[in-house]
């Protein structure tokens, strides 16, 4: 089978590319390298340095006629979406429309879309399900929710098969140390440089952290299951920022300095996703707990800087 991964040189995308190659897929990567890196891309994959909003990206999909398109390329920084909403919408909405048009023209068998828990906003719900209200409090969450709506309407109008995966807070090797979504990468980067950790708010905000390898396996499961469905991809377990620092202290082996600062605009207080639908329909389940994932990520960060 042939697959195209948009954003395949990035954090999550590059791990997905590796797994697809391992499983015998012919893999093409579409990435403009703004956040992605060439060294992340598996040598067996074919890289196309293009923007998902461009005509060339559309042409490549039409030319290659992949069986599956994994659409991961996005503007994923919540803070940037607040400061630059036009850019956020251009990438996440217009870029998705461009990819959808190409998928329709190329008769792609399925598009698998990387969405986010940010679509729910700051609902006062202990465990968020796919049927809960979607009330984003950032332009990032709004643009991803809008992209979801375009995908569903394209499917209705043109019979394009799709699966939407709403990720929890993904972490792991290769994540860039920036943005709220990359808080673990940010913390590890600061620990490595012996800098104080900045805790926005009181540190009691919680997240449903999920390891990147588990996200990859959910994408693989979606190739054959979950057509025209939307799934939360998560652990259904919460970890507060204060608890996270405790785990990192344990792994690091010595006390980590931190300071409390003001909260961020658009920051969600609590977020935990109900993954039961994915467990049942995708026959997928997360295999890494938070400590295991942090240990692998910590080891990667320290080894990377030695190489």
C-alpha span between 205 and 122 (Å, rounded): 11
What is the rounded CA–CA span in Å between residue 45 and residue 117? 29
Q: What is the pTM of this model?
A: 0.94
Q: What is the pLDDT of residues 99-113, one digit of tens each?
A: 999 999 999 999 999
Q: Which residues contact 151 (CB under 8 A, 6 or more apart)?
A: 96, 100, 111, 113, 160, 162, 164
Residues in CB range of 132: below 8 A, 6 or more apart: 120, 123, 125
Q: How many residues does the chain have?
A: 307
Q: State residue 305's pLDDT score.
A: 61
Which helix (H) or strand (E) is 82 found in, with range? helix 78-83
Query: What is the pLDDT, as a whole number, of residue 234?
Result: 98
pLDDT at 304: 76
pLDDT score, position 230: 98
pLDDT tens-digit map of 72-101? 999 998 889 999 999 999 999 999 999 999
Report, as residue numbers or ranges, the catalytic residues. Answer: 140
- pLDDT for 303 equals 86
| Residue stretches of the chain with pLDDT short of 50 | 307
Domains contained in the chain, CATH given: 2-171+209-234+274-286 (3.40.50.720)
Tokens of 86: 């036009």
Contacts of 195 (CB under 8 A, 6+ apart): 257
């Amino acid at each position: 089978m042939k697959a195209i991964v948009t954003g395949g040189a990035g954090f999550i995308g590059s791990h997905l590319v590796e797994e697809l190659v391992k499983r015998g897929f012919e893999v093409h990567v579409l990435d403009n390298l703004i956040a992605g890196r060439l060294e992340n891309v598996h040598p067996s994959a074919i890289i196309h340095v293009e923007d998902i909003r461009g005509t060339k990206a559309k042409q490549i999909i039409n030319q290659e006629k992949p069986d599956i398109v994994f659409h991961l390329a996005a503007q994923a920084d919540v803070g940037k979406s607040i400061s630059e909403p036009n850019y956020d919408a251009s990438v996440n909405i217009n870029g998705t429309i461009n990819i959808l048009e190409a998928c329709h023209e190329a008769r792609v068998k399925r598009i698998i879309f990387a969405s986010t828990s940010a679509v729910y906003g700051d609902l006062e719900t202990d465990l968020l399900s796919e049927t809960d209200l979607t009330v984003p409090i950032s332009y990032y969450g709004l643009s991803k929710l809008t992209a979801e709506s375009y995908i569903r309407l394209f499917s209705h109008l043109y019979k394009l098969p799709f699966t939407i995966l709403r990720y929890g807070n993904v972490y792991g090797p290769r994540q860039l140390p920036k943005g709220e979504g990359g808080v673990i990468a940010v913390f590890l980067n600061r620990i490595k440089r012996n800098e104080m950790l900045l805790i926005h708010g009181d540190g009691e905000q919680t997240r449903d952290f999920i390891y990147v390898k588990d996200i990859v396996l959910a994408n693989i499961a979606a190739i054959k299951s979950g057509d025209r469905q939307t799934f939360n991809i998560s652990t259904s377990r919460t970890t507060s920022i204060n608890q996270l620092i405790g785990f990192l202290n344990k792994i690091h082996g010595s006390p980590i300095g931190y300071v409390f600062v003001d909260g961020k605009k658009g920051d969600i207080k609590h977020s935990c996703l109900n993954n039961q639908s994915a467990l049942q329909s995708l026959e997928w389940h997360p295999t890494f707990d938070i400590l295991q994932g942090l240990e692998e990520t910590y080891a990667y960060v320290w080894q990377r800087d030695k190489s």
